[in-house]
Amino acid sequence: MLHGDKHLRKELTRLYPGKTVKFLLNDQGGLEKLVYERSRTETIAVSREEDGFDIEKVFKQPQKELHQASGTVESTLYIAGKKAGLSDSLVMQLTDIFAWDIDFSRSIHPGDSFNVLYEKLYLDGEYLGDGAIVAAEFVNQGKIHQALRFTLPDGTSEYYTPEGKTLRKAFLRMPVKSARISSRFNLHRRHPILHRIRAHKGVDYAAPVGTPVHATGDGKIVYRGWKGGYGRVIILQHGRRYSTLYAHLHRFNSRFKIGSKVRQGDVIAYVGRSGLASGPHLHYEFRINGIHRDPLTVPLPESTPIPKALLAVFKQQTSPLLATLESSRQTALARQEIQGE
């Protein structure tokens, strides 16, 4: 019997061309050891034991090189990022880092700029791909936002301001990515189907059917089913004070049931048009102590900042990164002044 990894058993039965598997046989032709190269950085050895097989995983740590990229938005952030040499994954990382403070679907304007320090990964001299952004700066309508990556003693990494405050809020502003707001929070809205005044106690995000819907905060599913004109609905409870509602869903993510705990960013469902919906969209509500608040403007609680005991270490590790960001910004400003003369 193969112990320790039920997913590996399934994976070994579905190998595809290009994967490397090595076998070590004994004198009788029986299998003693199997070595499977899952990826360039991970090898799995399956060895025979008295009561079955045992699994050992070996990881190769890639070498990291620090690179810098900067740019100015002329039309869209994506185009500016590609022009600066950023991969799609790095552009997504950049938007995720500042997602709590900047609405990238509505608030990006020509002239906004960014500066990014990120890792490139190499193994035995061969380029593997991009790693994490370790420091970033985004200037949005003249306001400077800065983020510095720091790894805590438990191994988790988060992004913080230079003062040690976390950029991660307890809630995301938007439960869907790259969606258009089709209807705002309005207690005196005229309903598009019923044609009478009915309070609109949330925000509607127009998106194609099947677009992933993300939990905006850590919480527990307290309702998952059909709810009248809302159609298919999920309600999350976030501690004692906060709850969020996601309506007009096409289908639920089968991973989660009533009572399931979810993490911020988990895909809990998919956009649809169930219930009284004039088109495919997500209706999203945010409640504090049962009272509806505008999801776009309600002050969001912050997550835990860096512990005071680690603040000195944080500043020591990140001060060179911060200096690089600020030096690059000053250089860019000086270049703009010269060009403007």
> What secondary structure does DSSP assign to 110-138, as a single string?
TT-EEEEEEEEEEETTEEEEEEEEEEEEE
- Cβ(222)–Cβ(265) below 8 Å: no
Global confidence as pTM = 0.64
Which tens digits make up the pLDDT trace of 249-295? 999 999 999 999 999 999 999 999 999 888 999 999 999 999 999 99
Q: How confident is the model at residue 134, as a pLDDT?
A: 96
Judged against a pLDDT cut of 50, whether residue 1 lies above it is answered with: no
Q: How confident is the model at residue 13, as a pLDDT?
A: 64
Average pLDDT over residues 70-94: 93
Judged against a pLDDT cut of 80, whether residue 334 lies above it is answered with: no
- Report residue 198's pLDDT band, with 50, 70 and 90 as the boundaries: low
Q: How confident is the model at residue 175, as a pLDDT?
A: 94
Average pLDDT over residues 175-190: 78
Q: How confident is the model at residue 2, as a pLDDT?
A: 47
CA distance 324 to 318: 10
Q: How confident is the model at residue 337, as a pLDDT?
A: 66
Pick one of 2.70.70.10, 3.40.50.150, 3.30.2320.50, 3.40.50.1370 as the CATH number of 180-293.
Answer: 2.70.70.10
Which of left, alpha, beta for 229 (phi over 0: left; psi -120 to 50: alpha)?
Answer: alpha
Residues 6+ apart with CB under 8 A from 62: 41, 121, 122, 123, 128, 131
Judged against a pLDDT cut of 60, whether residue 300 lies above it is answered with: yes
- The domain segmentation of the chain, as residue ranges, is 6-59, 63-168, 180-293
Q: Comparing 48 with 97, which gets the higher pLDDT?
A: 97
Which tens digits make up the pLDDT trace of 24-34? 877 777 777 77
Classify domain 6-59 at the CATH class level.
alpha beta
Q: Which range (17-21, 108-112, 121-125, 187-191) has the least confidence?
A: 187-191
Q: How confident is the model at residue 200, as a pLDDT?
A: 81
Which tens digits make up the pLDDT trace of 109-145? 999 999 999 999 998 888 888 999 999 999 999 999 9
Judged against a pLDDT cut of 90, whether residue 247 lies above it is answered with: yes
By the 10 Å C-beta count (0-12 exposed, 13-18 middle, 19+ buried), 2 is classed as middle
For residue 275, the tally of other CB atoms under 10 A from its CB is: 18
CA distance 171 to 135: 22
Percent of the chain with pLDDT over 90: 53
Classify domain 63-168 at the CATH class level.
alpha beta
For 236-297, what is the HEC assignment?
EEECCCEEEEEEEEEEECCCCCCCCEECCCCEEEEEECCCCCCCCEEEEEEEECCEEECCCC
Judged against a pLDDT cut of 90, whether residue 220 lies above it is answered with: yes
Average pLDDT over residues 146-158: 91
As a whole number, the mean pLDDT across the chain is 86
Q: How confident is the model at residue 56, as a pLDDT?
A: 74
CATH topology of 6-59 equal to that of 63-168? Answer: yes
Average pLDDT over residues 1-15: 58
